[in-house]
Amino acid sequence: MTAAAPGAPRVRQRPEVRRAMIVEAARAVIVRNGVGATGLRDIAAEAGVSVGTVTYHFGSVAEILNEVVVLETERFYGAIVIAVDAEPDPVEALRMLVAPLFGDTEQVRQHWRIWSDYWTAVARRPEVAAEYAERIRVWEACLVRVIRRGADAGVFRSGADAGVFRSGALPIDPDTVALKLAAYSDGVATQIAQGVPGLTNTVALSWMWTFLAHELGVPAVEIAGTGHQHL
Partner DNA sequence: TATGAATGAGAGTTCATTCAT
Partner DNA sequence: AATGAATGAACTCTCATTCAT
Which residues of this chain interact with DNA, rule CB under 7 A? 8-15, 18, 37-42, 49-53, 55-57, 59-62
Nearer to DNA, 51 or 130 (CB): 51
User: Per CB under 8 A, does 227 bind a second copy?
Assistant: yes
Least distance to a second copy from the beta carbon of 227, Å? 6
Helices 201-216/174-193 angle, 10° precision: 160
Q: Measured on CA atoms in the order 25, 30, 32, 38, is the torsion positive or negative? A: positive
Out of 20, 71, 193, 223, the only residue in the binding site for a second copy (CB under 8 A) is 193
Q: Give the end-to-end CA distance of the chain in Å, rounded to a whole number.
A: 36
Out of 180, 200, 202, 223, the only residue in the binding site for a second copy (CB under 8 A) is 180
Nearest 5°: phi and psi at 224?
-50, -35
User: Per CB under 8 A, does 184 bind a second copy?
Assistant: yes
DSSP line for 105-151: SHHHHHHHHHHHHHHHHHHT-HHHHHHHHHHHTHHHHHHHHHHHHHH
Out of 38, 66, 73, 116, the only residue in the binding site for a second copy (CB under 8 A) is 116
User: Per CB under 8 A, does 185 bind a second copy?
Assistant: yes
DSSP line for 4-39: PPTTPPP----HHHHHHHHHHHHHHHHHHH-GGG--
User: Per CB under 8 A, does 82 bind a second copy?
Assistant: no
* Contacts to a second copy by CB under 8 A: 33-34, 36-37, 116-117, 119-121, 123-124, 126, 129, 158-165, 170, 173, 175-176, 179-180, 182-188, 190-191, 193-196, 199, 207, 210, 213-214, 217, 219-220, 224, 227-228, 230-231
